[in-house]
Structure 1
C-alpha cells in the first residue's frame, strides 16, 4: 500500500515539474515568435531582426532626434569574458553625473534565448542583441523587459543582472523604498534600495548626456553595422582584447566547474578535452580576430567609430589609455574618473571578480598559474589571433614564467 502511495506522489511531482518546464518553454517560444513576426513593445511598431534591415526614421524620435547636435554619446564596450572588461567599464561608470552605464544587460537576453534553444544560441541572437542595444541606447527598457525572468510587474523588477555595477541605477532618483519580503538579488552597494523601477531608470537615462553599455555577448562586429550607421545615435565602439592564454587561465579560476576538463587535461595525460570545448575556444578566437580585422580595415561605416585596445596596455598605463579612450569617444575625462583610476589600479585586492587591483602586477599573474602544456595548446588554436594583436609565443616553460621576457610586442593600432 505504501508503495502505491509513493508511486502516486512521484507521478504528481513529475507532472508538476513537466508543467512548469512547458510553461517556461512556451513563454520563450512566444518571445521568439514575437521577433519573427516583427512585433514590437507598445512604444513602437516593429522590431528588426533582419541583418539587412534598417530602423524606422521615427522610432523614439521625440527623445533622440538631434542626438548628435545635442552632443550625446553612445559607447559600446565590446569584449569577451575575463578580458578585463568589468575593470575597464568602471573607467566610464565612474565618470560622474553625465554618465548612464549599463553592465551586461544582454545577460538576460542570452539566458532566455539559451533556455528556448536547449542551451544553444538561436540564429536570431545577434539581431536580437542589436535591437535590445538600440532600445537601451534610447533609454527604453521595454524590449529588455521581455527577457527578464521572472517578468517585471508594472515595470518593476528585483532581478536586473548586476544592477549594483551601475552608479546611475543606484542614484537617489532610482532608489525606491525597500519593500518588505522582496529581496533584490543584485542590490546597490552604496545605499539600500527597493526593486528597480525601470520607468524611473529610463527617465534618469534620458537626462544623461553619455550612455555606455558593456557587453561580452556580442561576438561579431559586422552584426552591429546598422546600429553604428543609425543617424539618431552617435555610437562609438571600443573592442577590448586580451591574450587568449591569459583569458583561458582566468576562466579556469573564475569558472572551475565549466572549465574542469581543461584543468584536468593540463595535468593528466589520460584525460582529454571535449572536441566541442576546443571548437568553442577556436570559435572565440576567430570571432575576436575577424571583428578586429574588420574594425582595423576601417570601412566607411566605421570611420571615427572604432577603437581597438589591449587590456595589457591598459594595465601597464591605465591613466594614459583611459585618456585615449575618452578622447576617442569625445567624452570629457573628469577628475572623478582620474581619482578612481589612481585609487583602484594600486590596490592589492585579490578577489576574482574585483575591479580593484594593482593592474601592472595583476596582468602577468596568469603566467605562473597556467601549465605550459595548456599555453602551448592555446597558441596552436589561437595563433593567428595572437599574431594580429602582438602576443609573443613561448617555446618552453622557462620562457613562460620568465617575467623579464615580455609576451607583449610594442604595437600601435591605428584608428580614425
Structure 2
C-alpha cells in the first residue's frame, strides 16, 4: 500500500490519511498476535511482504517513514528443524524491528499533528506591522525577523492595489496562504537560509520553496506594511475580530521621517519627482500635512483597540531597545527572545552614524540617527512641518522647536 500526497493537503485530509495508514499498520501487526502473545511462524518459501510508504511532500520539505515486514499465512511446522528455528528467530527479529518502525511512524504522526495544530489560525499569532515610508520600519521589523519562531514578510502588499485586494490578502495571510509574499530575501525564515548574496542557487531555492509550508512551521506570522490604507481599514475588513491578530504601529517623529525622505536627490510629491534643490517651504508643509494626517488617524483609532494595538516609535527603540521590545512582545502574548535583544544592542550602537552609502542599511548608530533632523533640516522646513503637524504633535506630546508653532 502506498500513500503519497504531492500537493499540500488540507488539515482534515492529512489527519484522515494518517489515521488510515496507522489502521493498516495495526491490521498487519495483528496477524502476528494470538491471545495477546506474538505468534512465531515458520517462514514459507512463498511469503510476501507488505510495505507502507507515508509521505507528505512539500517541495523541499518532506516528512517520511517507509518500512517493510513479512506477512505470513502458513501454520508452523509440528517438528521444527534447526533450519526452521533459524527462520523463526529471524521472524522474531523482524517483528522486533517492525515494532521499532511502528514507534517511528507514531512519532512522525505526532510531528504531523503538531505541525497542523501550529499552522491552524487559532494557534498562530499574526502581527501586522503598519508604518509609512522612511519611518524606520525596516529596523523595527527586525524585532520579529530576528526571532527564530517567526515567519516574517517584508512589504508583501507591493502590487496589491485597492481595498478589496488588500482585504483578500489579509484574509489569506491568516492561513499562511497569501497570493503575494513580498521580498523574501529580507526574511530569515524563507526556507533558503539568511540572505548573504545573490546566487543562482539562492534564486532557485526561493522559486521552488513551498512558502505556505514554511510559514506553517512557525507559531508567529508577521507582515510589515507601508502600503496599507490605514489601521482602521483592518478593522473594516473584519481581520481584527480574530483574537490572535495584533497591530503594531511603527512610528517616527515626522521631522525625522521627512528629513530621511529629503536625503534623496529626488523627492516624490503629488505624483511628480521634485529635485531636492527645488523644494520649497510650501511643498515640505504639504508633505508633512499628508503624513501627519495618516499618523494622527492611525494613532487615535489604534488607541481605541484595547489589547490589540500598540505604538512603538523609532526614537524610543533606538534609545532603549530592550524596554520597548519587551513591551511589544508582552502585548502579543510572547516573551522577547534574548537573540532579538542582543541583535538590537549591537545594531543600534554601531560605529556608523550615517546611511549615505546605504540608505536601506540596518547597522548604524540609531540613537544619533534618530535626532539627526535637528542638524540637517533647514529651520524653515522644520517650522513648516511643525505647523502642519500640530494636531499630531499635541496628541503625542512631541516637543516643538519653533516657538511660533507652540501656541
Name which of structure 1's ranges 84-93 and 277-286 shifts more when overlaid on structure 2. Answer: 277-286
Q: 1:45-124 to 2 correspondence within 5 Å?
A: 67-68=121-122, 70=123, 72-96=124-148, 98-109=149-160, 113=161
Which residue of structure 2 aligns with residue 360 of structure 1? 367
- 1:171 maps to which of 178, 182, 192: 192
Which residue of structure 2 aligns with residue 139 of structure 1? 176
Q: 1:155-304 to 2 correspondence within 5 Å?
A: 161-171=182-192, 189=197, 192-195=201-204, 196-197=206-207, 200-225=210-235, 226-231=237-242, 234-254=244-264, 256-258=266-268, 261=274, 263-264=276-277, 279-296=286-303, 298=304, 302-304=305-307
Which residue of structure 1 aligns with residue 74 of structure 2? none
1:278–1:131 Cα change, 3 Å: farther
Q: Deviation above 6 Å: which 4+ runs of structure 1? A: 62-65
Residues 1:319 and 2:304 aligned together: no
Q: 1:299-378 to 2 correspondence within 5 Å?
A: 302-349=305-352, 350-351=354-355, 352-378=359-385
Which residue of structure 2 aligns with residue 154 of structure 1? none
TM-score normalised per structure 1:
0.61
- Map Cα deviations across residues 111-145 of structure 1 (whole Å, 9 max, x no partner): xx4xxxxxxxxxxx23422321221232113x33x
Structure 1 unmatched ranges of 5 or more: 1-42, 44-61, 114-124, 145-159, 176-186, 398-406, 408-416
Q: What secondary structure is seen at the aligned counterpart in 2 of 1:107? A: coil
Q: What secondary structure is seen at the aligned counterpart in 1 of 2:262? A: helix
User: Is the contact between residue 73 and residue 331 of structure 1 (CA under 8 Å) also seen in structure 2?
Assistant: no
Structure 2 unmatched ranges of 5 or more: 1-9, 11-115
1:319–1:79 Cα change, 3 Å: same
User: Is the contact between residue 77 and residue 240 of structure 1 (CA under 8 Å) also seen in structure 2?
Assistant: yes
Name which of structure 1's ranges 354-363 and 317-326 shifts more when overlaid on structure 2. Answer: 354-363
CA distance, structure 2, for counterparts of residue 255 and residue 331 of structure 1: 42
User: Is the contact between residue 262 and residue 273 of structure 1 (CA under 8 Å) also seen in structure 2?
Assistant: no
CA distance, structure 1, for counterparts of residue 132 and residue 247 of structure 2: 14
Q: What secondary structure is seen at the aligned counterpart in 1 of 2:190? A: helix
CA distance, structure 2, for counterparts of residue 281 and residue 99 of structure 1: 34
Which residue of structure 2 aligns with residue 27 of structure 1? none
* Aligned-residue offset at 1:312: 1.3
Structure 1 or 2: more strand by fraction: 2
Which residue of structure 2 aligns with residue 392 of structure 1? 399
What's the C-alpha RMSD, in Å, of the aligned pairs? 3.1
Number of aligned residue pairs: 282
* Aligned-residue offset at 1:285: 1.3
User: Is the contact between residue 210 and residue 331 of structure 1 (CA under 8 Å) also seen in structure 2?
Assistant: no
CA distance, structure 2, for counterparts of residue 290 and residue 194 of structure 1: 40
1:129–1:281 Cα change, 3 Å: farther
CA distance, structure 1, for counterparts of residue 295 and residue 331 of structure 2: 21
User: Is the contact between residue 228 and residue 236 of structure 1 (CA under 8 Å) also seen in structure 2?
Assistant: no
Q: What secondary structure is seen at the aligned counterpart in 1 of 2:392? A: helix
User: Is the contact between residue 239 and residue 306 of structure 1 (CA under 8 Å) also seen in structure 2?
Assistant: yes
| Structure with the greater alpha carbon radius of gyration | 2
1:65–1:320 Cα change, 3 Å: closer
Q: What secondary structure is seen at the aligned counterpart in 2 of 1:258? A: strand
CA distance, structure 2, for counterparts of residue 263 and residue 320 of structure 1: 37
Higher normalized contact order (CA 8 Å, seq sep 6+, divided by chain length):
1
TM-score normalised per structure 2:
0.62
